[in-house]
Each structure stands twice: as structure tokens, then as C-alpha cells.
């Protein structure tokens, strides 16, 4: 049960980073040849973040342990609606549903007939991981600048597309992640890949979003978890 709780907290802690709003930090001297400056990129990301209200996408979560040369891959689909509403479904073999209703985080395991329930406010105080629910999707620009040092790592041209790799270093040395890297496509301006490094890179957690659709109609009912009959509710953080 302890390993299951950690795994679920880990995925839930990072999935909401995908549309993070950034602050401006570096000056216009941070210019990549034939590309945009960091300030220009952050301004565009902020504008794109403010413009969308809902997001739907296919998601691939990969957890890699470099020393063991092993990777665990989970694929699913996610729907997000501002503010702080999330539905994330992993079909078999993972067979798991995650629901964030704004107050609680639910992790439902149909095969085990169990549902884990996390209080978001309690999680923010007791878990560095769950605090990312507040960090992603609409956290204030000053808050991001307060917590992270942001730099433009590189620019990549892939065919007709251009991608910017942003590097976020936490100012708190006790942060769960030693480094965070985001890939942003020019023109779209919302991150479609997030890499989070633990233990100085010995463990890498990656989220990749594909088939992203913005501002499509979503019923609020999608983000309400009704406990099915016969399902046991566990509150691991109580």
C-alpha cells in the first residue's frame, strides 16, 4: 500500500504542470540565434495560459530509474477545466481513474474496489508533491518567480516546428524535484512535455501530451467522483 500511495501522489503531483504560467526573470540578453528570447517565450506562454479554459489530451507518463535502466510507461487520457478540475483515466493494465474536484483528489482502482481520497489543502501542507496542484494551471506569476529560477536551455527545430526547452531550478533545496524541464512549441505556447528529475537525475518522471484540444465543452459532472457501491475509501494522509 505504501508504494501505491507514493506512485499515485507522484503522478497527481506533476500532471497539472502541463500549462504552467511563468514569470519573467532573465533579460533580453538570453537570446538564442534564430529564435526568441526567454522574455518573449514567457510572455507568449503566459498569454496562452490565460486564454484557455479547458484542455483535453492523450497523456503518456514514463517513470525511468537510470541506475536500473528500467522504465514504467502508462498511457491514458485527461480532461482539465479551470479552476483545478481534472479527470485522468488510465485503461488496463494500469486500470486507474484520477479525479480532482477542487477540494479532494480521488484515485480509483476498479479491480481492487478501492478509492484513495486526498484532501488538497492537507496535501499542500504535508506533501511537497501535492503542492503542485496549486503551482500548476493558474498560479500567480510572482509565485513562480519566487520559487524557481527559469532559463532557456535550448532551441530545437524539428521539421517545420520549433521547440523551446525551458529549465526550472527550484530555489528550495529540499524540493522533491532537483530540476524541471518543459518543452514548448512555438505558436502553440503551452508545454507538451514535462520532465521532472529526482535524486539528481537518478529518477526521471516524464509527461507527454498529444492530440491537445483547447476550450471544448466539458460537463462539470465529469469532475465529480461518486463512490461506486462496494468500493472501500482509504484516506492515506489522515
The whole-model pTM stands at: 0.79
Q: Which domains does the chain have, with CATH numbers?
A: 2-228 (2.50.20.10)
Query: Which one, of 215, 191, 158, 162, lies nearest residue 21 by Cα?
Result: 191
Residue with cell 528550495: 172
| Cβ–Cβ < 8 Å for 52, 215 | yes
Question: Using CA atoms, how far apart are residues 234 and 238, in angstroms rounded to an integer?
Answer: 9
Would you write out the chain's pLDDT as a tens digit for each of its 238 residues?
A: 555 545 555 555 555 544 443 333 332 234 344 578 988 988 888 888 888 889 999 999 999 998 888 999 999 999 989 888 889 999 999 999 999 898 999 999 999 999 999 888 765 433 333 333 333 334 555 566 678 898 999 999 999 999 999 998 989 888 888 898 989 999 998 888 988 898 888 899 888 999 999 999 899 999 999 999 999 999 987 6
| Cβ–Cβ < 8 Å for 205, 224 | no
Question: Using CA atoms, how far apart are residues 190 and 48, in angstroms rounded to an integer?
Answer: 7
Question: Using CA atoms, how far apart are residues 223 and 100, in angstroms rounded to an integer?
Answer: 6
How many angstroms separate the Cα of 141 from the Cα of each of 21, 76, 100, 113, 150?
6, 30, 23, 41, 12
Question: Using CA atoms, how far apart are residues 76 and 89, in angstroms rounded to an integer?
Answer: 5
Which residues, other chains included, contact 112 with Cβ-Cβ below 8 Å and sequence gap of 6+? none
Amino acid at each position: 500500500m505504501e508504494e501505491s500511495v507514493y506512485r499515485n501522489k507522484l503522478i497527481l503531483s506533476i500532471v497539472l504542470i502541463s500549462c504552467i504560467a511563468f514569470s519573467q526573470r532573465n533579460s533580453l540578453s538570453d537570446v538564442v540565434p534564430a529564435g526568441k528570447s526567454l522574455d518573449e517565450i514567457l510572455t507568449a506562454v503566459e498569454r496562452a495560459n490565460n486564454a484557455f479554459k479547458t484542455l483535453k489530451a492523450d497523456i503518456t507518463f514514463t517513470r525511468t530509474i537510470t541506475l536500473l535502466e528500467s522504465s514504467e510507461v502508462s498511457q491514458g487520457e485527461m480532461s482539465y477545466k479551470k479552476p483545478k478540475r481534472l479527470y485522468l483515466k488510465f485503461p488496463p493494465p494500469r486500470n486507474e481513474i484520477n479525479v480532482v474536484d477542487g477540494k479532494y483528489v480521488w484515485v480509483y482502482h476498479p479491480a481492487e474496489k478501492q478509492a484513495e481520497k486526498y484532501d488538497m489543502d492537507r496535501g499542500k501542507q504535508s506533501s511537497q508533491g501535492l503542492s503542485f496542484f496549486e503551482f500548476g494551471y493558474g498560479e500567480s506569476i510572482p509565485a513562480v518567480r519566487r520559487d524557481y529560477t527559469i532559463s532557456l536551455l535550448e532551441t530545437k527545430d524539428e521539421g517545420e516546428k520549433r521547440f523551446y526547452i525551458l529549465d526550472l531550478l527550484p530555489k528550495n533545496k529540499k524540493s522533491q524535484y532537483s530540476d524541471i524541464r518543459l518543452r514548448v512549441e512555438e505558436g502553440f505556447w503551452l508545454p507538451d512535455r514535462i520532465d521532472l528529475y529526482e535524486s539528481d537525475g537518478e529518477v526521471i518522471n516524464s509527461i507527454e501530451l498529444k492530440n491537445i484540444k483547447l476550450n471544448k465543452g466539458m460537463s462539470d459532472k465529469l469532475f465529480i467522483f461518486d463512490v461506486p457501491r462496494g468500493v472501500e475509501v482509504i484516506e492515506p494522509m489522515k
